[in-house]
Amino acid sequence: MVTFLVAIALLIVGYFTYGKFVEKVFGVKEERMTPAYANADGVDYVPMDTKRNSMIQLLNIAGVGPIFGPIMGALYGPVAFLWIVFGCIFAGAVHDYLTGMISIRNRGAHLPELAGKFLGKAFRHVVNAFSILLLVLVGTVFVTAPAALIADISPAWVTMGAIVVAIFLYYIVATLLPVDKVIGRLYPIFGALLVISAIGVGGALIVQGHPIPEMTFENMHPGGLAVFPLLFLTISCGALSGFHATQSPIISRTTQKESQGRKIFYGMMILEGIIAMIWAAAGMALFSGEGLNEVLAAGGPAAVVREVSITTLGAVGGTLAILGVIVLPITSGDTAFRSARMIIADYIKVGQKRISNRLWIALPLFVISVVLTQVDFNLLWRYFSWANQSTAMIALWVGAMYLALQRKNFWIAAVPAAFITMATFTYILNAEIGFRLPIEVAYAGAALITAASIAAFFYTVKARLAASDSGLRPIVVDEELDRSA
């Protein structure tokens, strides 16, 4: 119990201390006009206040990841707490803040455009394809996961197929309509349900005295799976998630002032970390390692959510808690498709004021997602985890390059970027969905790739700064906003 409470306290302290430090390093310009005003179009560029933006950002980034991931990560034991706390403070929240704020400084640009600008033109095309893949996977996972939870608490006559159709219909509406018409109005209600459910489960763990284990570095995974790199890909949302880099630009286009960024981007990631801590603790407290593994094998993370909710809060309270969990994937799935539409529109330079333009871009994405719903959830989750952390790796290198080109403290992004580079490549070199190399070979290969990435980063920074100092190629990191819109 002490470890759990200290971890929650550290996350909160991290927001007020390291979050403030990151904000200072970035250098907020209060007087600078944001894209919400400069490029207002009534669809995606719409000014909204901090409370609405914060709640939308939280629900955008907090899909089933900060619940399902930590539940599966709980198999490793309390070592999972360390990754949630330190990963969230020093990697995830930094990642979210930098991607959101750099996007604000570049007309609300999405990650592919930012990668092309700061890492090289080729990255724009690669990251564009990668982002679309990730977002379609996210949208698909966030259809099947909430559908399974809804089916568990619905009458027998409500079929799984009907639930999936209903969710897809909502996603289509939320993807096509202006951001303030559906998302801006429903999310405050959904957010309240989410917060209440998380507080309810977390409070019940404390009040009812459930035995949350204390800190140990022992790997408790019943299958003996290695902590590195698997834990760092299993728990992504709640610690570090590249999916967030696809979501922050949605809010960068609705943010009124740069000073609101720390609360919206850094702060909501910290809150997501707290949610992840609660569900990881619940998984450890209510089940033994073997018991948790058995429930996961029988019914997946959704079964654990149901058992935890009913056990801690009873039938009525437990149902409300499950509804709070259902809200998470649905409110990330809709913005996953919305973000995919925006990225494609930016890439092929098609304006989004006309609904017909939004429609012909979005509908093929939904068709692909419908096909993917027939694929095994566990397989989809493994691909999602790898794609997710690979995107986080790219986004952190973008943030490091942005800061380095301004001669600012780039280490705040470069260190977590190097770490997740090592973890991501170790995983894909060793995993069954990857190259299936022996783990020792995977470690060596990932170390070489990480070293090469670091060397390439420093070489590029040195070359671009030298070209700028000589007057050959001035560095432009922040774009002038189009005030004629």
> Within a 10 A sphere around the Cβ of 156, how many other Cβ atoms?
6
Quickly list DSSP for 419-445.
HHHHHHHHHHHHSTTTT---HHHHHHH
Number of domains comprising the chain:
1
* pLDDT at residue 411, as a whole number: 98
Dump pLDDT digits (tens) for 13-59: 999 999 999 999 999 998 899 999 999 998 899 999 999 899 889 88
> Within a 10 A sphere around the Cβ of 447, how many other Cβ atoms?
14
Instruction: Round to whole Å and give the CA distance between 55 and 41.
Output: 22
Residue 441 within a domain: no
Residue 465 within a domain: no
CATH code, 338 = 1.20.1740.10
> For tokens 């939308």, what's the residue?
56
Distance (Å) of CA 156 to CA 37, 150, 225, 342: 49, 11, 38, 38
N residues, the chain: 485
Residue 145 within a domain: yes
Give the structural domain span for 301.
Answer: 2-395
Instruction: Round to whole Å and give the CA distance between 264 and 57.
Output: 7
Q: Return the C-alpha torsion angle 197, 200, 206, 208, nearest 10.
A: -120
Instruction: Round to whole Å and give the CA distance between 255 and 239.
Output: 24
Cis omega before residue 188 (within 30°)?
A: no
The first and second tokens of residue 434, run together, are 């990857």
Residue 437 within a domain: no
* pLDDT at residue 306, as a whole number: 84
Residue 211 within a domain: yes
3-state helix, strand, coil split of the chain in percent (to 5) is 75, 0, 25
The first and second tokens of residue 130, run together, are 């990668």
Flag residues of the chain having pLDDT under 50: 484-485
Residue 336 within a domain: yes
Dump pLDDT digits (tens) for 397-437: 999 999 999 999 999 999 999 999 999 999 999 988 889 99
